[in-house]
Amino acid sequence: MASVDQDPLLLLRQSIASGSPIFPTASAEPSAPEVRLAQATHLTFTTPTRISIPIDTATRFVSENTPVDLRSIYFAWLNREVAIPEYNTFASQLNDELGTRGPVRGFAFYQRLDLITWLEGASEESDYIKPLAGDKDGSTSTAAAALASKGAAAPAIGTTLGRSGKGTLDPRLAVIYNSERKMGDRNSVLRGIKSTDFTHVRKLAALFMAKKPSQPSSSNISSNPALATHQKPKRPDPIILLSPSASSLLRMSNIKSFLESGQYVPPDSLAASSSTSASMLHINRLMKDIDPNRPMRFILVEGPEQFKPEYWSRVVAVFTTGQSWQFKNYKWSNPMDLWRHVPGIFVGWRGEQPPESVRGWGHRVMNVGVDRWKDTGATGMDSSRWRDREAVEGIWKAIEGNMRSKGWKRDRAPALI
């Protein structure tokens, strides 16, 4: 297993955080030029030092009890915004070019989401990434990941790349390293050379633990501001489901500009986002009544086909066109059962009656109207679309109110909805 300073996953995450170049090469020389991924034998990183790692190196990301190679991890990052069908097409094309050197591994939806979230630095833990060798509790990998997410460049003493940049250690540096005092790790400091059995301490501690009050006291960590700063509660990302219907006014191509910028554009217009084929989008929104200090990141998807059962407790809204086939694969396929757990949102043209099905669902589905789109041609955006922001704010207000009533907190999501 690679050391901390040469671990492919940590190097990739640190390079992404610092915006440093990452490119495939056909040689182990760090100065080798960039080549196509199908021709590459190494992946070159430039942060914290310029280093090349074989592209078929097995990483600590494990899928189906098998470590995933670096080429597959890098390919997944390059195509992170691509829809699953298009991603599979690109992977097949690359496998044809690789021949016997392949294939590129595929990922399930939740594995891909977990990997991208960890590489972006939005999460410090992953269910599929094993700790480094000798790091049983994950503290070393967590510390290294924290350095990577902040763009810090720790001294890479274990690397073979010296100041000369030719892949060999500078002799003067070797003399300095040999004169350094060797520092022990936590195991050697606590236990010395021989392993010591501390199980008897548990028996002594049991007497004090039995007297611990059941209710948290004022000296608890959570009530101590000096100690509470060391706690890093994980907050899951809420999920918004969109309608996959072609008649929907809001699709993956224009939902981001609508909910973030407060301006509606047709999903098939040139003004819409270029992420038409994206299977998942992220938007940020400050929910003041839940957490006034940091924005919440919302995940937008069109369908729950790759959902884990626990994902349903994170669904905070469902956009619908009134067509019941949209809910076929939902946890609650009956619309009335669905609206008892999750608020619905219908977006139609202002002044027009919503479909009969939407009217039949009553107040459980919010009816929002937007002005019809006027093609202004070369003149730019329609200046009369100022009421779009009013509609968007109404949608966010309804979502935030429902989240608070369901039990969303600053650091956690409700267990059930």
Q: Averaged in consecutive runs of 10 residues, what is the pLDDT profile of the chain (417 residues)? A: 72 88 88 88 85 90 89 90 85 87 82 87 83 57 45 40 46 72 62 64 76 49 48 77 90 90 82 62 90 90 87 92 91 92 92 90 90 68 76 92 88 76
The pairing of strands 281-285 and 296-301 is antiparallel
How many domains would you assign to the chain?
A: 2
Q: What residues are paired with 346 via a beta bridge?
A: 367
Residues 137 and 259 in one domain: no
Q: What is the dihedral of CA 168, 42, 129, 121, to 10 degrees?
A: 90
- We report the CATH number of the domain holding residue 356 as 3.40.50.11990
Any domain includes 54: yes
Residues 146 and 244 in one domain: no
Among 338, 257, 258, 253, which Cα is nearest to 302's? 253
pLDDT at 164: 37
Any domain includes 155: no
Any domain includes 185: no
Residue 279 neighbours by CB under 8 Å, 6+ apart? 82, 83, 84, 109, 252, 301, 302
Any domain includes 348: yes
Residue 378 DSSP label: G
Any domain includes 34: yes
Edge-to-edge, what's the strand order for the sheet holding 365-370? Answer: 281-285, 296-301, 239-241, 315-319, 344-349, 365-370
Point out the domain boundary residue: 150, 165, 195. Answer: 150
Residues 246 and 139 in one domain: no
Point out the domain boundary residue: 92, 118, 150. Answer: 150
Residues 283 and 144 in one domain: no
C-alpha span between 401 and 416 (Å, rounded): 17
Any domain includes 223: no
Domain with 354 in it: 239-406
Any domain includes 70: yes
Any domain includes 210: no
Point out the domain boundary residue: 150, 171, 203. Answer: 150
Q: What residues are paired with 36 via a beta bridge?
A: none
Residue-wise DSSP of 77-116: HHTTTS-HHHHHHHHHHHHHHHGGG-PPPP--HHHHHHHH
Residues 116 and 254 in one domain: no
C-alpha span between 185 and 108 (Å, rounded): 38
Residues 259 and 121 in one domain: no
